C-alpha cells in the first residue's frame, strides 16, 4: 500500500511563491482549489459526460439486442445488414463509455467482458458446439462481447451466403443463433446494469462520485479514480490496444493484424479515431454535443499550467492527424504499409507522457494503476 505524501511539493511551491516577484508564471500544484471549482468540474464529468455515455451505450445495446432477435427470427441479407449496423453503433458508443472504467464499470468488469480482443475463435466454436459456457467467466472474455459478435457476423464463414446458410436451421443454425443471442443479451444486460448503477434511481453512483467524501485527489477520490482510469485507458487501451499491439510495437516489430479491435468487421481505424476524439473531448470537459464545460484543461489553466494545456491540445491534434492517415481495414493497412500506424503510435505516446507525468503532477493526482504490492 502506498501512502500519499505529496505535501512537500505544494510547500516548496508556497515558499517559491513567497520569494518570487509577482507575475512569475509557475505551474500550479493541484492544491489551488481556491481559484478553481473542482466540484463543478466533477459534476460536469459525471452528469454531462459519463452518465450520457452510459445512457448511449445502453440505448445502442438495446438496439443491438433487438436486431439480434430480429435476425434470429429471419436470416436474410437485410436482417444481417441491420444487425451489423447496430453492432457498429454499439461499438462506437463504447468508444465514449470505455473512458469511465472505474466505479460501477470496474465492479462489473465491463471492459474485459465487452471488448477483449483478439477473439479466441476456437473457444467460440467450442462454445457454439457445446452450448455450455458462462460468458461472464474470466476464461471466456475473448469469446464474448463485441469482438466475438463481430466474428459471428463477419468471420464465421467465407462469405455472406455461407454465413446466412450457417445460421439456418438444420446446419447447426440453432446453436449459432443461440450463441449470437447470448452474446447480445450479455452486452445488453451489462450495459443496462452499469447505467442503473450510475443513475439516481438505481445505485446512484453519480451521487457517490459527487459526494464530499470523494473530493480531493487522494486514492479513492473521484478525481483520482477518474484520472487514473483516463490515463490507463489512453495508454493501454487506445495507444497499445488499438494501435501499438496490432502494429507490432510490443512484439519485437512483428505485426499482429488480427489483433485489431474490429478485425472481422474491418472498421478498427474508425473506432480508434472515435476513441481519440472522445479522449480529446474528455480533456476539455466537452460533451458529445460539443458543449464545453469545466474540464481538466480548465483545471490546468487555473493552476497556471497554460503551456502544458496548450501542448497537450497540440499533441492530441497531431495524434488525430496521424490517425486520419490510417485507413480501414486497419489490418490491411498494417500488412501493406505499417508506417502510418507506427507514426500514430508515436504521436499517441507523446500525449501519454504529457498526461501521465506532467498533468498528473499539476493536478496532484498519483498514478496508482501500476502499483505492485511488492510480493
Partner 1 sequence: MRLSKFLSTTSFFTCLLVSFAFVSCDVLSSGDDNLQPPDTYEFTRDGASSVAYPGQTDRLNMLGEMDAYLGRGDDGQTLSEQVLLDMYTNAGGDGGGNFSFTSDRQLANKTFAPDRDEQLFENLFADAAAASQNGANGVTASDGTAGLLVRENSGNTILVDEKGREFGQLIEKGLMGAVFYNQIFNVYLTDARIGPDVENEDLAEGANYTPKEHHFDEAFGYWGVPVDFQSDWPEDREDEPRFWGHYSDVVDNVRDGMLGTNSTIMDAFIRGRTAIVNKDEAALDEQVDILYEQLELVAAATAVHYINDTLGHLSAGNTGEAFHTLSEAWAFVNALKYSPRRAITVDQIETIQNSRFGQNGNFWKVTADGLNQAKSTLLNVYPDLEPVQDEL
Positions in the binding site for partner 1 (CB under 8 A):
1, 3, 5, 101, 105-113, 116, 134, 136-139, 219-220, 232, 236-237, 241, 369-373
CB of 22 to partner 1, least distance (A): 36
User: What gap in Å lies between CA 263 and CA 339, rounded to an integer?
Assistant: 19
Give percent helix, percent strand, percent coil of the chain, each to the nearest 5: 70, 0, 30
Question: Closer CB to partner 1, residue 35 or residue 375?
Answer: 375
Question: Closer CB to partner 1, residue 107 or residue 291?
Answer: 107
Question: Closer CB to partner 1, residue 220 or residue 253?
Answer: 220
CA max distance for the chain: 83
Q: Identify whether the C-beta of residue 285 lies closer than 8 Å to the C-beta of residue 44.
A: yes
Q: Which three cell numbers stand for residue 235?
A: 495508454
| Torsion angles phi and psi, residue 22, rounded to 5 | -60, 150
CB of 81 to partner 1, least distance (A): 32
Q: Identify whether the C-beta of residue 219 lies closer than 8 Å to the C-beta of residue 366.
A: yes
Question: Closer CB to partner 1, residue 48 or residue 247?
Answer: 247
Question: Closer CB to partner 1, residue 105 or residue 308?
Answer: 105
Q: Identify whether the C-beta of residue 316 lies closer than 8 Å to the C-beta of residue 337.
A: no
Question: Closer CB to partner 1, residue 140 or residue 338?
Answer: 140
Reduced to 3 states, what is the DSSP secondary structure of residue 190?
helix
CB of 369 to partner 1, least distance (A): 6
- Torsional class of 253: left (φ above 0), alpha (ψ -120 to 50), beta (otherwise): left
CB of 107 to partner 1, least distance (A): 6
Question: Closer CB to partner 1, residue 191 or residue 308?
Answer: 191
CB of 136 to partner 1, least distance (A): 4
Burial 189-213 (b: 16+ CB within 10 A, else e): bbbbbbbbbbbeeebebbebbbeee
Across 321-364, where does the E strand assignment appear?
A: none
CB of 176 to partner 1, least distance (A): 23
CB of 229 to partner 1, least distance (A): 9
Instruction: Count CB neighbours of 297 within 10 A.
Output: 23
Amino acid at each position: 500500500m502506498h501512502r500519499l505524501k505529496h505535501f512537500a511539493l505544494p510547500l516548496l511551491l508556497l515558499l517559491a511563491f513567497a520569494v518570487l516577484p509577482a507575475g512569475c508564471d509557475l505551474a500550479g500544484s493541484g492544491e489551488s482549489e481556491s481559484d478553481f471549482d473542482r466540484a463543478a468540474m466533477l459534476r460536469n464529468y459525471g452528469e454531462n459526460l459519463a452518465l450520457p455515455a452510459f445512457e448511449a451505450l445502453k440505448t445502442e445495446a438495446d438496439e443491438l439486442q433487438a436486431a439480434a432477435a430480429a435476425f434470429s427470427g429471419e436470416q436474410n441479407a437485410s436482417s444481417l445488414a441491420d444487425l451489423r449496423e447496430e453492432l457498429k453503433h454499439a461499438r462506437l458508443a463504447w468508444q465514449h463509455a470505455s473512458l469511465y472504467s472505474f466505479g460501477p464499470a470496474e465492479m462489473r468488469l465491463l471492459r474485459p467482458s465487452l471488448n477483449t480482443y483478439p477473439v479466441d475463435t476456437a473457444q467460440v466454436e467450442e462454445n457454439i458446439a457445446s452450448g455450455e459456457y458462462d460468458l461472464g467467466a474470466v476464461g471466456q472474455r475473448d469469446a464474448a462481447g463485441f469482438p466475438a459478435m463481430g466474428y459471428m457476423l463477419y468471420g464465421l464463414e467465407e462469405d455472406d451466403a455461407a454465413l446466412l446458410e450457417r445460421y439456418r436451421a438444420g446446419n447447426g443454425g440453432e446453436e449459432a443463433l443461440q450463441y449470437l443471442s447470448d452474446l447480445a443479451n450479455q452486452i445488453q444486460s451489462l450495459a443496462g446494469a452499469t447505467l442503473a448503477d450510475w443513475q439516481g434511481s438505481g445505485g446512484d453512483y453519480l451521487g457517490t462520485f459527487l459526494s464530499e467524501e470523494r473530493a480531493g485527489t487522494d486514492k479513492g477520490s473521484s478525481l483520482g479514480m477518474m484520472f487514473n482510469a483516463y490515463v490507463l485507458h489512453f495508454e493501454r487501451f487506445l495507444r497499445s490496444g488499438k494501435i501499438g499491439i496490432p502494429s507490432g510495437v510490443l512484439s519485437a516489430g512483428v505485426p499482429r493484424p488480427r489483433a485489431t479491435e474490429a478485425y472481422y468487421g474491418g472498421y478498427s481505424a474508425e473506432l480508434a479515431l472515435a476513441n481519440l476524439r472522445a479522449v480529446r473531448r474528455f480533456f476539455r470537459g466537452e460533451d458529445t454535443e460539443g458543449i464545453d464545460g469545466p474540464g481538466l484543461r480548465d483545471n490546468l489553466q487555473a493552476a497556471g499550467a497554460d503551456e502544458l494545456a496548450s501542448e497537450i491540445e497540440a499533441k492530441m491534434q497531431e495524434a488525430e492527424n496521424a490517425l486520419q492517415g490510417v485507413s480501414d481495414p486497419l489490418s490491411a493497412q498494417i500488412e501493406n504499409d505499417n508506417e502510418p500506424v507506427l507514426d500514430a503510435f508515436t504521436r499517441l505516446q507523446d500525449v501519454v507522457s504529457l498526461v501521465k507525468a506532467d498533468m498528473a503532477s499539476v493536478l496532484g493526482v498519483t498514478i496508482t494503476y501500476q502499483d505492485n504490492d511488492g510480493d
